Chains A and B, each alone.
Chain A
Amino acid sequence: QKEVEQNSGPLSVPEGAIASLNCTYSDRVSQSFFWYRQYSGKSPELIMSIYSNGDKEDGRFTAQLNKASQYVSLLIRDSQPSDSATYLCAGNFGNEKLTFGTGTRLTIIP
Protein backbone atom coordinates (compact mmCIF):
# COMPACT_ATOMS: atom_id res chain seq x y z
CA GLN A 1 0.00 0.00 0.00
CA LYS A 2 1.52 3.28 -1.10
CA GLU A 3 0.52 5.90 1.46
CA VAL A 4 0.80 9.60 1.74
CA GLU A 5 0.77 11.01 5.25
CA GLN A 6 0.13 14.52 6.45
CA ASN A 7 -0.21 16.12 9.84
CA SER A 8 -3.92 16.88 10.09
CA GLY A 9 -3.32 20.04 12.10
CA PRO A 10 -4.83 22.44 12.67
CA LEU A 11 -1.82 24.57 11.92
CA SER A 12 -2.13 28.21 12.98
CA VAL A 13 0.19 30.82 11.50
CA PRO A 14 0.19 34.60 12.02
CA GLU A 15 -0.59 36.75 9.02
CA GLY A 16 2.56 37.64 7.12
CA ALA A 17 4.54 34.66 8.41
CA ILE A 18 5.67 31.56 6.50
CA ALA A 19 3.38 28.55 6.65
CA SER A 20 5.13 25.20 6.26
CA LEU A 21 3.14 22.12 5.31
CA ASN A 22 4.71 18.69 5.15
CA CYS A 23 3.90 15.37 3.59
CA THR A 24 5.71 12.03 3.75
CA TYR A 25 5.17 8.99 1.63
CA SER A 26 5.93 5.33 2.06
CA ASP A 27 7.11 4.18 -1.35
CA ARG A 28 10.27 5.16 -3.17
CA VAL A 29 8.85 4.72 -6.66
CA SER A 30 7.37 8.16 -7.05
CA GLN A 31 6.97 10.17 -10.21
CA SER A 32 5.09 13.30 -9.34
CA PHE A 33 3.51 15.15 -6.46
CA PHE A 34 0.80 17.73 -6.24
CA TRP A 35 -0.52 20.19 -3.68
CA TYR A 36 -4.20 21.05 -3.61
CA ARG A 37 -6.01 23.70 -1.62
CA GLN A 38 -9.55 23.07 -0.48
CA TYR A 39 -11.76 25.71 1.07
CA SER A 40 -14.57 24.54 3.31
CA GLY A 41 -17.47 23.28 1.24
CA LYS A 42 -15.53 23.56 -2.02
CA SER A 43 -13.65 21.12 -4.21
CA PRO A 44 -9.85 20.75 -4.22
CA GLU A 45 -7.95 23.21 -6.38
CA LEU A 46 -4.52 22.41 -7.81
CA ILE A 47 -1.90 24.91 -6.67
CA MET A 48 1.46 23.22 -7.31
CA SER A 49 2.94 20.30 -9.22
CA ILE A 50 6.46 19.02 -8.65
CA TYR A 51 8.19 16.25 -10.54
CA SER A 52 11.89 16.36 -9.63
CA ASN A 53 14.01 16.80 -6.54
CA GLY A 54 14.52 20.33 -5.34
CA ASP A 55 12.41 23.44 -5.07
CA LYS A 56 9.76 24.86 -7.35
CA GLU A 57 8.49 28.36 -6.79
CA ASP A 58 5.25 29.96 -7.97
CA GLY A 59 4.47 33.34 -6.49
CA ARG A 60 4.17 33.02 -2.72
CA PHE A 61 4.23 29.22 -2.94
CA THR A 62 7.30 26.97 -2.94
CA ALA A 63 7.07 23.21 -3.24
CA GLN A 64 10.02 21.09 -2.15
CA LEU A 65 10.58 17.46 -3.07
CA ASN A 66 13.18 15.15 -1.53
CA LYS A 67 12.85 11.67 -2.98
CA ALA A 68 15.70 10.20 -0.94
CA SER A 69 13.99 11.19 2.32
CA GLN A 70 10.52 10.63 0.89
CA TYR A 71 8.98 13.92 1.78
CA VAL A 72 7.40 16.81 -0.01
CA SER A 73 6.59 20.17 1.51
CA LEU A 74 4.77 23.37 0.68
CA LEU A 75 5.87 26.77 1.93
CA ILE A 76 3.53 29.72 1.81
CA ARG A 77 5.28 33.05 2.24
CA ASP A 78 3.59 36.21 3.49
CA SER A 79 0.56 34.19 4.61
CA GLN A 80 -2.80 35.84 4.10
CA PRO A 81 -6.16 35.11 5.75
CA SER A 82 -7.34 33.91 2.33
CA ASP A 83 -4.78 31.09 2.60
CA SER A 84 -6.83 29.54 5.41
CA ALA A 85 -7.93 26.21 3.96
CA THR A 86 -7.15 22.51 4.00
CA TYR A 87 -4.08 21.57 1.98
CA LEU A 88 -3.94 18.14 0.39
CA CYS A 89 -0.79 16.43 -0.76
CA ALA A 90 -1.09 13.83 -3.52
CA GLY A 91 1.40 11.56 -5.20
CA ASN A 92 1.64 9.33 -8.20
CA PHE A 93 3.61 6.16 -7.49
CA GLY A 94 4.12 4.52 -10.82
CA ASN A 95 0.58 3.36 -11.37
CA GLU A 96 -2.11 5.56 -12.80
CA LYS A 97 -3.85 6.38 -9.53
CA LEU A 98 -3.26 9.53 -7.52
CA THR A 99 -3.01 8.87 -3.79
CA PHE A 100 -4.07 11.69 -1.45
CA GLY A 101 -3.10 12.46 2.10
CA THR A 102 -5.82 13.30 4.60
CA GLY A 103 -4.98 17.01 4.44
CA THR A 104 -3.67 19.66 6.82
CA ARG A 105 -6.01 22.37 8.01
CA LEU A 106 -4.26 25.74 7.96
CA THR A 107 -5.55 28.83 9.74
CA ILE A 108 -3.96 32.24 9.20
CA ILE A 109 -4.45 34.47 12.20
CA PRO A 110 -4.88 38.19 11.37
Chain B
Amino acid sequence: KAGVTQTPRYLIKTRGQQVTLSCSPISGHRSVSWYQQTPGQGLQFLFEYFSETQRNKGNFPGRFSGRQFSNSRSEMNVSTLELGDSALYLCASRTGTGTSPLHFGNGTRLTVT
Protein backbone atom coordinates (compact mmCIF):
# COMPACT_ATOMS: atom_id res chain seq x y z
CA LYS B 1 0.00 0.00 0.00
CA ALA B 2 1.44 3.38 -0.96
CA GLY B 3 2.32 5.76 1.84
CA VAL B 4 1.41 9.39 2.32
CA THR B 5 2.58 11.47 -0.62
CA GLN B 6 3.40 15.14 -0.30
CA THR B 7 4.23 17.50 -3.13
CA PRO B 8 6.36 19.37 -3.74
CA ARG B 9 9.32 18.21 -1.65
CA TYR B 10 11.03 21.60 -1.70
CA LEU B 11 9.82 25.14 -2.22
CA ILE B 12 11.52 28.50 -2.18
CA LYS B 13 9.27 31.54 -1.97
CA THR B 14 9.70 35.20 -1.19
CA ARG B 15 7.98 37.17 1.53
CA GLY B 16 4.45 38.20 0.70
CA GLN B 17 3.83 35.37 -1.73
CA GLN B 18 1.44 32.53 -1.12
CA VAL B 19 1.99 28.81 -1.37
CA THR B 20 -0.12 25.67 -1.71
CA LEU B 21 1.07 22.28 -0.50
CA SER B 22 -0.56 19.02 -1.47
CA CYS B 23 -1.04 15.74 0.36
CA SER B 24 -2.41 12.38 -0.76
CA PRO B 25 -3.21 10.10 2.17
CA ILE B 26 -2.83 6.36 2.42
CA SER B 27 -5.64 4.64 0.58
CA GLY B 28 -8.62 4.20 2.89
CA HIS B 29 -7.51 6.86 5.35
CA ARG B 30 -10.13 9.54 5.77
CA SER B 31 -8.29 11.82 8.16
CA VAL B 32 -5.47 14.15 7.18
CA SER B 33 -3.49 16.29 9.61
CA TRP B 34 -0.92 18.99 8.95
CA TYR B 35 2.02 19.89 11.15
CA GLN B 36 4.73 22.51 11.02
CA GLN B 37 8.15 21.52 12.27
CA THR B 38 10.95 23.94 13.07
CA PRO B 39 14.15 23.30 15.05
CA GLY B 40 13.09 25.54 17.89
CA GLN B 41 9.39 24.68 18.16
CA GLY B 42 9.17 21.01 17.36
CA LEU B 43 6.01 19.62 15.81
CA GLN B 44 3.23 22.17 15.86
CA PHE B 45 -0.29 21.09 14.95
CA LEU B 46 -1.97 23.11 12.22
CA PHE B 47 -5.26 21.36 11.54
CA GLU B 48 -6.96 18.07 10.88
CA TYR B 49 -9.56 17.25 8.28
CA PHE B 50 -11.95 14.33 8.29
CA SER B 51 -14.48 13.70 5.52
CA GLU B 52 -13.89 17.18 4.06
CA THR B 53 -14.55 18.91 7.40
CA GLN B 54 -12.01 20.56 9.65
CA ARG B 55 -12.14 18.56 12.85
CA ASN B 56 -9.40 20.27 14.86
CA LYS B 57 -7.39 23.43 14.54
CA GLY B 58 -4.14 24.56 16.12
CA ASN B 59 -3.05 28.03 17.15
CA PHE B 60 -1.89 29.42 13.85
CA PRO B 61 -2.97 32.68 12.23
CA GLY B 62 -5.64 32.78 9.57
CA ARG B 63 -2.95 32.97 6.88
CA PHE B 64 -2.77 29.21 7.24
CA SER B 65 -5.71 27.40 5.75
CA GLY B 66 -6.52 24.00 4.42
CA ARG B 67 -9.12 21.89 2.78
CA GLN B 68 -9.90 18.31 2.03
CA PHE B 69 -11.47 16.90 -1.09
CA SER B 70 -13.95 14.08 -1.48
CA ASN B 71 -11.14 11.65 -2.32
CA SER B 72 -9.48 12.56 1.03
CA ARG B 73 -6.62 14.41 -0.64
CA SER B 74 -5.79 17.61 1.16
CA GLU B 75 -4.17 20.94 0.43
CA MET B 76 -2.71 23.51 2.74
CA ASN B 77 -2.35 27.16 1.79
CA VAL B 78 -0.23 29.82 3.39
CA SER B 79 -0.83 33.39 2.25
CA THR B 80 1.35 36.47 2.72
CA LEU B 81 4.41 34.43 3.56
CA GLU B 82 6.73 35.57 6.34
CA LEU B 83 10.33 34.59 6.99
CA GLY B 84 9.18 32.71 10.08
CA ASP B 85 7.08 30.39 7.93
CA SER B 86 10.24 28.65 6.78
CA ALA B 87 9.82 25.12 8.07
CA LEU B 88 9.20 21.50 7.25
CA TYR B 89 5.49 20.98 6.66
CA LEU B 90 4.32 17.49 7.38
CA CYS B 91 1.12 15.84 6.34
CA ALA B 92 -0.09 12.72 8.11
CA SER B 93 -3.05 10.47 7.58
CA ARG B 94 -4.90 7.94 9.69
CA THR B 95 -7.99 5.83 9.35
CA GLY B 96 -10.16 8.37 11.14
CA THR B 97 -10.71 7.07 14.62
CA GLY B 98 -9.18 9.08 17.43
CA THR B 99 -7.13 6.15 18.69
CA SER B 100 -5.42 5.33 15.41
CA PRO B 101 -1.84 6.48 14.82
CA LEU B 102 -0.70 9.02 12.30
CA HIS B 103 1.40 8.04 9.31
CA PHE B 104 3.55 10.84 7.99
CA GLY B 105 4.56 11.81 4.50
CA ASN B 106 8.08 12.91 3.62
CA GLY B 107 7.22 16.54 4.11
CA THR B 108 7.60 19.74 2.13
CA ARG B 109 10.58 21.90 3.00
CA LEU B 110 9.51 25.54 2.59
CA THR B 111 12.09 28.29 2.56
CA VAL B 112 10.92 31.90 2.60
CA THR B 113 13.47 34.52 1.57
Contacts and interface: CB of A to CB of B under 8 A. Distances in A.
B86 to A, nearest CB: 15
Q: How large, as a class, is the contact surface on chain B?
A: 20 to 34
A51 B99 CA distance: 8
B8 interface: no
A11 B83 CA distance: 32
A31 B98 contact: yes
Contacts of B56: 95-97
What DSSP secondary structure best describes chain B's contact surface? strand
Contacts of A81: none
A90 B90 CA distance: 15
Contacts of A103: 42-43
A70 interface: no
Interface string A82-110: 00000010101011111111110000000
Interface string B62-101: 0000000000000000000000000010100000001101
B107 interface: yes
A97 B104 contact: no
Interface residues of A, number: 24
A103 to B, nearest CB: 6
A71 to B, nearest CB: 19
Interface of B: 31, 33, 35, 42-43, 45, 48, 50, 55-56, 88, 90, 98-99, 101-107
23 contacts: A32-B101, A34-B101, A34-B102, A36-B104, A42-B106, A43-B105, A43-B106, A44-B90, A44-B104, A46-B102, A46-B103, A51-B99, A90-B102, A94-B98, A95-B56, A96-B55, A96-B56, A97-B45, A97-B48, A98-B101, A100-B35, A100-B43, A103-B42
